[in-house]
Amino acid sequence: MRPMLKRLTLIVLVVTACSSDGADTSDIGDLPAIDAAGFEAHLAILDTPAVVNVWASWCLPCRSEAPLLAAAHAIHGDRIEFIGVDVEDSQAGAKEFLAEFGLMFDHFFDERRAIPNFYGGFGTPITMFFAPHGELVRIHNGVVDERSLALNIDELLQRGS
């Protein structure tokens, strides 16, 4: 197994073991609402690659991949921007999800699925990989696994160097 995959696996196990039901959401503010044009503008100003995960608190597959994304952010968050896009959800559900899984990166609220519709993703979850300044490199529809996430992150890092 590649060293990065081993690290991701270890961190996923730790994060999963430490997550708890009924997490405290008192220090989590509402997610800022955003539309496709605003999101595209946000990506355009980024000088780093970005991993964008489309999720919802009611989505069971999203719950299964959340610890993996938290682990990847812990490892690569200084070189890659991680962004969450919560779709078709409530602010309360979003806050509970973020608190439960410790997803400590920026998240936006997209009640109408404008962002995945704009980029051509379908279903939930979706993980999109962007080069610096918002060039879409790849869309992964469905649950992203460790191998796919690691390979796509490696590709983003190689493009950025």
| 15-74: pLDDT as tens digits | 443 444 556 666 789 999 999 999 999 999 999 999 999 999 999 999 999 999 999 999
CATH number attached to the domain at 52-161: 3.40.30.10
More confident residue, 6 or 116: 116
pLDDT tens digits for range 67-89: 999 999 999 999 999 999 999 99
Instruction: Let me know if 26 is exposed, middle or buried by CB neighbors in 10 A (0-12, 13-18, 19+).
Output: exposed
Question: Using 50, 70 and 90 to split pLDDT, how confident is the model at 13?
Answer: very low
pLDDT tens digits for range 122-132: 999 999 999 99
For position 76, what pLDDT does the model report? 97
Bridge partner list, 2: none
User: Does residue 8 contact residue 72 with C-beta atoms inside 8 Å?
Assistant: yes
pTM comes to: 0.84
Residue type, 161: S
Match 């410790």 to its residue by tokens.
Answer: 102
